[in-house]
């Protein structure tokens, strides 16, 4: 009787151990499956054409006194204004910044600045904005010809912008997120799994570069030197596998 009880107890203990081990194994597998995720990176790119051009130039004049430099600068402004109007720009698109007057001090033999003023220099920045970016580009290449009329002018490289950028950034980030989802679906299908919910998502910086450029920056690029550009967005996402 004692032997039979011992055998029965051993059988019960053995079956219980097997059942516990089975439940533990199934529990581990379920937990591991629940913790399985895939990490993907989606991207999207679009071509854009600038619809706003900005051209800046600077006129300068020198004189023995501040008044002389100021008057000489004012004498150059009508020539610049006349030139820009002849190129089709309206007065409302032309902006003159405040005039800066600065003394030029004598430099001693030892390389130090003395208190003696040699002359004064006057500077004024002129900014032109227009939606006709081709015209902005053309004028930027020709405007330096004003030196032939006695205008002391420096022409800066034009800048080109796309005014619909705010809305486009939202759209292209959405496209990048869709691309990440498509990639995740294909990986799940290839491994025989079902794609679960998204666990994490991180938007990368926006890159705006000239067409066919390979420039990239961790801080993002906003190119203003070219009329035709590419805008690229990247999204990194993690999905649970079911």
Domain positions in the chain are: 35-49+164-241, 52-161
Is pLDDT larger for residue 67 or for residue 2? 67
pTM metric for this prediction: 0.79
- Report the Cα 162 to chain-centroid distance in Å: 12
Q: Considering only the top CATH level, what class is 35-49+164-241?
A: alpha beta
Domain 52-161 adopts which CATH fold? Answer: Alpha-Beta Plaits (3.30.70)
Per-residue confidence band for 24, with pLDDT thresholds at 50, 70 and 90: very low
Phi and psi, residue 214, nearest 5°: -110, 20
6-20 per-position pLDDT tens digit: 555 555 555 555 665
The predicted structure's pLDDT at residue 206? 93
């Amino acid at each position: 009787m004692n032997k039979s009880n011992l055998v029965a107890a051993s059988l019960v203990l053995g079956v219980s151990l097997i059942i516990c081990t089975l439940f533990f194994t199934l529990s581990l597998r379920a937990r591991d499956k629940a913790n399985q995720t895939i990490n993907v990176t989606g991207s999207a790119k679009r071509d854009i054409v600038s619809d706003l051009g900005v051209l800046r130039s600077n006129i300068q004049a020198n004189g023995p006194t501040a008044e002389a430099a100021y008057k000489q600068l004012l004498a150059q402004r009508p020539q610049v204004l006349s030139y820009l109007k002849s190129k089709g720009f309206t007065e409302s698109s032309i902006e003159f910044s405040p005039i800066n007057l600065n003394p030029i001090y004598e430099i001693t033999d030892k390389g130090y600045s003395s208190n003696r003023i040699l002359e004064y220099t006057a500077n004024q920045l002129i900014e032109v904005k227009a939606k006709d970016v081709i015209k902005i580009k053309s004028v930027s290449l020709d405007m330096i010809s004003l030196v032939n009329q006695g205008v002391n002018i420096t022409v800066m490289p034009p800048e080109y912008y796309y005014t619909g950028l705010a809305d486009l950034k939202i759209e292209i980030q959405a496209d990048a997120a869709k691309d990440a989802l498509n990639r995740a679906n294909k990986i799940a299908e290839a491994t025989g799994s079902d794609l679960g919910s998204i666990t994490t998502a991180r938007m990368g910086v926006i890159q705006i570069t000239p067409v066919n450029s390979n420039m990239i920056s961790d801080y993002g690029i906003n190119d203003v030197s070219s009329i035709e550009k590419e805008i690229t967005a990247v999204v990194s996402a993690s999905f649970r596998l079911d």
